[in-house]
A and B are shown apart, each in its own frame.
Chain A
Amino acid sequence: MGFLLPNLLGFLIFTAGPVLFSLAVSFSNWNLERTVPFAWTGFENFIDLMHSQDFWLYFINTAYLMIGMPLSIFGSLMLAILLNQKLKGIVVFRTLFYLPSFTSGVALMILWKALYNPDFGPINMLINTISHDLGGSIHVAPAWLLSTKNVLGLRVESVGITIRQWGLGARDALVIMGIWTAIGGNNMLLYLAALTNVPPELTEAAEIDGASKWSLFRHVTWPQLAPTTFFIVVMSFIGGLQGGFDQARVMTDGGPAGTTTTLAYQIYTKAFEQFQVGYASAISWVLFSIILVITLINWRIGSKDLNY
């Protein structure tokens, strides 16, 4: 016990304490402006939250930024398979692909902001050049971070879909950037580790039995990767629901028109810009509940198929 005490005390003071404190605060009207007298308000913050259109819009934004998740997981797997080959200089390739993970996130975001520049960004220059070469207009590229449009046609100020909003905009820009960052990240490393752990006798036996490359992957490798995939999916959901703060802070300020404001960013603005700490704590706990429920569902569904 004496050996554990320093660590335990640290955990209680710096982790468990603030977490429980935020739970208590979520039932109060605590405001950093001292003219508002402190009062316990019960579930008032939570009720307000459920009736707030902004909360639901920002929840949708949060979920929207996660739509690239399957693609990034698939990309990580493909990349891991490629980097699992016994090639000369493969370590260099592995390092290069992992580079986005240990590069400063803010630096990457500033770089992407420049890439998305509607006027001189390389992405739009390429799109406009291709369009021009095909005989079309040279001004067809999307406005990316300045546009409220999105591939699902989500409305800006209310929950719903409209054809007017269909297109590519800020949310899609963040999704694409997220996919790029995630493909070569920790998921790729996890898959790489899992691939090296696939028992060689299984693949050899399948090869001797004449299994094709696809059959080998489908019936031998993929099932062996199931626990890793399950872990990656669970962690991606958790990360996705907590995400969006850095991008909003660095690239968009949550705009245009609030379309890149996620729940994590709303917690920050409510607490530290609007000083409503009680309300912000309530959002945090609702977000925690959503994450918990989704993780439990993932666990229940995912663990059924885990045979290894």
Chain B
Amino acid sequence: MKKFFIFTFFFLIVLSVVAWKIQPPPNPPGKTELTWVSDDNPARRGQIALFNKLYPKDILKLDPDNSGMEKVIVQSLAGVGPDLFDCYDGFQLSAYVKSGIAWDVTDQLKKMGINVKKQVWPCIFPDLMLDGRIYGVGTNVSVNAIWINKKLFDEDHVPYPKGPWTWKQFIPIAEKMTKRDSTGRIVQYGLLCDWYNWPQFIMQWGGSIYSPDGTRCTLDSPQCIAAIQFMHDLIYKYHVMPSPVEQAAATAGGWGSGTISFFAADKGAMALGGRWWLCTLRQNSVPMDLGVVPCPFGPKHVYLGYGKATLINKNSPKRYEALNFLKFEASKAYSNLICHQADGFGPIKAYIHDPIVLHDPAYPQENYNQVWINVMKYAQPEQISPFVNGNTVTIIINKQMDLIQGNEKSVPDALRTATRQINEEIQKTIAIDPTLRMRYEKLTGRTVN
């Protein structure tokens, strides 16, 4: 036993020496290290490399392990937060601002000559703009369209669909492309669509999650019910889209997995997704023959635009140096890189007309970029309400959506329950938050007791 402990002791010493030897070298003197909390998309490597090349006085490093909003807030409030962090929606921005960690860069951007309101895609305004103040430039933008697996269409001699088209026109094609095995089990779906795309359907059916002033949830409106009922019908009436159980095989988790992998495995002839899917699809072991058509539309011809913004930690001692990253995001070099990497599009509208966006010499087979450029025109921002915590809303809606997807509750019942619960949360919030209460009273003309 004594020998064992002596051996272990020396083994640990050897390991320590190895660890000491392989530790990364310290930063060269005069360089500022900036930490960016973001997802582990492989595209980040290229973005960081370009930043470090263009701004030699800074060293940008990725920290993908602390990307949860709660982690960012708690760590930043405790003084150990990142210098830069990503914000994915309006609720997150509101939470970052309210907790005092998002730096208001309105004046700094003005000095740098960046006019966000004029230059940036409006569909990501909720991610970077709150009450007229600006907190970032935008990291990328995207909008969904329909990916087409041309091989599957060719096998069945079905002509590729063309846009613009409606969901009504979409159904027969999706039905034609849905295939079953001898036991009746579906082995190829007409459409793959993540259920979290429901806000786009609501938008297309003319509904909205909240009233225009955000003071009331309106998910129980006839338009919202019709939109979600249509999604439900895609699974249970038309049988062209997998149910949650059927799609479980696609939910392995992690970046770039799930529905994208399912699509890449020829399990769906069409899929609703963004240009950023290419980050994964390009890496498919068997190169896919892909096409893109605009997403069908409902009563309204709109699509949900989305993206993210990178914000600067207000408590970071290196926040002025971090401004370089926002400058970088507004550059043409950055936009072109985002297009080349297919991580959506860059945040600046004007750069979408650069020839490299349409025809990237590195990817000549991607001859559908004009479709992405066209659909960006219809991209609308998501709707949020300042009067309720977005995570609370997500929990409430997810619970009801689980029941709808599982065919355990009717769409009208589920949406009525969600609406009632969200409106109750709004009332609770304005009861404890005096600033929001004043705003609510001003908007509704009603006094809250």
Contacts and interface: CB of A to CB of B under 8 A. Distances in A.
Interface stretch (A83-91, A112-120, A212-220, A232-240): A112-120
B402 A255 contact: yes
B99 A34 contact: yes
A128 B92 CA distance: 44
A273 B183 contact: no
Interface stretch (A10-18, A142-150, A199-207): A142-150
Contacts of B128: none
Nearest to B395: A269
A251 B49 CA distance: 35
A289 interface: no
Interface size bucket, A side? 20 to 34
B185 A139 contact: yes
B433 A148 contact: no
A210 interface: no
Contacts of B408: 148, 156, 257
A117 B247 CA distance: 10
Interface-centre pick from B74, B245, B436 (highest chain A CB count, 10 A): B245
Contact of A146 (B98, B248, B398, B435): B248
Contact of A143 (B245, B389, B417): B245
Contacts of A143: 244-245, 248
B432 A156 contact: no
B399 interface: yes
Contacts of B436: 35
B73 interface: yes
Contacts of B183: 138-139
Interface stretch (A25-33, A62-70, A181-189, A292-300): A25-33
B98 A34 contact: yes
A305 interface: no
B169 interface: no
Interface string A271-298: 0111100000000000000000000000
Contact of A35 (B98, B185, B245): B98
Contacts of B417: 157
A80 B98 CA distance: 55
Nearest to B429: A36
A37 interface: yes
A109 to B, nearest CB: 11
Contact of B248 (A117, A157, A255): A117
A146 B406 contact: yes
A269 B393 CA distance: 12
A143 B248 CA distance: 9
A148 B406 contact: yes
A223 interface: no
Contact of A119 (B69, B246, B391, B400): B246
A33 B93 CA distance: 12
| 10 closest A-B pairs by CB | A272-B70, A33-B98, A257-B402, A273-B391, A256-B402, A119-B249, A143-B245, A257-B399, A118-B245, A35-B435
23 contacts: A31-B432, A32-B74, A33-B389, A34-B99, A117-B248, A119-B245, A119-B246, A119-B248, A143-B245, A146-B245, A146-B248, A147-B406, A157-B417, A256-B406, A257-B399, A257-B400, A257-B408, A269-B391, A272-B70, A274-B389, A274-B392, A274-B395, A275-B389
Interface of B: 69-70, 73-74, 77, 95, 98-100, 183, 185, 244-246, 248-249, 389, 391-392, 395, 398-400, 402-403, 406, 408, 417, 432-436
Given A119-B248, A146-B248, 19 more contacts: A29-B432, A31-B432, A32-B74, A33-B389, A117-B248, A117-B249, A118-B245, A119-B245, A139-B183, A139-B185, A143-B245, A146-B244, A148-B408, A156-B408, A257-B400, A257-B403, A272-B70, A272-B74, A273-B70
